[in-house]
């Protein structure tokens, strides 16, 4: 009887070890919320901006609520409409020296509005841009230094209502795929002439 009492703690320890081995996911940390991942994506983009303007000082860290950051708006998402996510980025006329492809649009797939006019955003449209943003309604990038062609995949933006791309450094022809955007009511793709400011 005494032997059984002495080994009992060992049996409990072995039982616990077997239980944990059977359910390793119980030991894993819970996945980060989408909002936290989106905050991380914005902070990663901010880190690539040369001399970020003072307005972006409110962009703190992933533990602060990004819905209170300058130029960031949130809304609800998902079938239950209970998950809070980032829905809009609006940073007008801040002369941001940034690159569009440095922004992780895959994580920010809940965006309905991107308003970044009159900045100094450079580079081409990233390949995954259009296919990553199924909810986008407003895309305003006029007055930047975006180069290259408008991607043919722009027809993936089925809900697009406003498209402003004027005064950039775009090349090539306007893709016929724009004709598939049935909700588009406002589009401006005027290009600069050589030497025009």
Pick the CATH number of 33-188 from 3.80.10.10, 3.90.79.10, 3.40.720.10, 3.40.800.20: 3.80.10.10
Domain regions of the chain by residue span: 33-188
Beta pairing class for 83-90 and 72-77: antiparallel
What is the distance between the alpha carbons of residues 114 and 80, in angstroms, rounded to a whole number? 24
Q: Do 36 and 86 meet the contact criterion of CB atoms below 8 Å apart?
A: no
pLDDT band at 21 (very low <50, low <70, confident <90, very high): low
Question: Is the pLDDT reported for residue 15 higher than 70?
Answer: no
In our burial notation (b when 16+ CB lie closer than 10 A, e otherwise), range 98-134 reads bbbbbbbbebbbbbbbbbbbbbebbbbbbeebbebbe
Tens digits of residue pLDDT in 152-166: 999 999 999 999 999
Contact 38, 108 (CB under 8 A): yes
Query: Which has more pLDDT, 13 or 163?
Result: 163
């Amino acid at each position: 009887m005494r032997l059984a009492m002495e080994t009992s703690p060992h049996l409990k320890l072995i039982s616990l070890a077997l239980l944990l081995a059977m359910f390793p996911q119980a030991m894993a940390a819970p996945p980060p919320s989408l909002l936290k991942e989106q905050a991380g994506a914005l902070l990663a983009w901010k880190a690539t901006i040369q001399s970020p303007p003072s307005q972006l000082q409110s962009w703190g860290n992933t533990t602060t609520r990004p819905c209170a950051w300058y130029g960031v708006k949130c809304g609800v998402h998902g079938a239950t409409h209970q998950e809070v996510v980032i829905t809009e980025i609006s940073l007008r006329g801040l002369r941001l020296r940034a690159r569009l492809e440095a922004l992780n649009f895959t994580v920010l797939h809940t965006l309905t509005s991107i308003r970044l006019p009159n900045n100094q955003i450079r580079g081409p449209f990233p390949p995954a841009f259009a296919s990553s943003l199924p909810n986008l309604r407003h895309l305003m990038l006029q007055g930047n230094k975006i180069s290259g062609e408008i991607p043919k995949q722009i027809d993936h933006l089925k809900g697009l209502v406003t498209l402003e791309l004027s005064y950039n450094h775009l090349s090539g022809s306007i893709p016929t795929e724009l004709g598939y955007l049935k909700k588009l009511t406002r589009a401006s793709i005027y290009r600069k002439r050589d030497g025009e400011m």
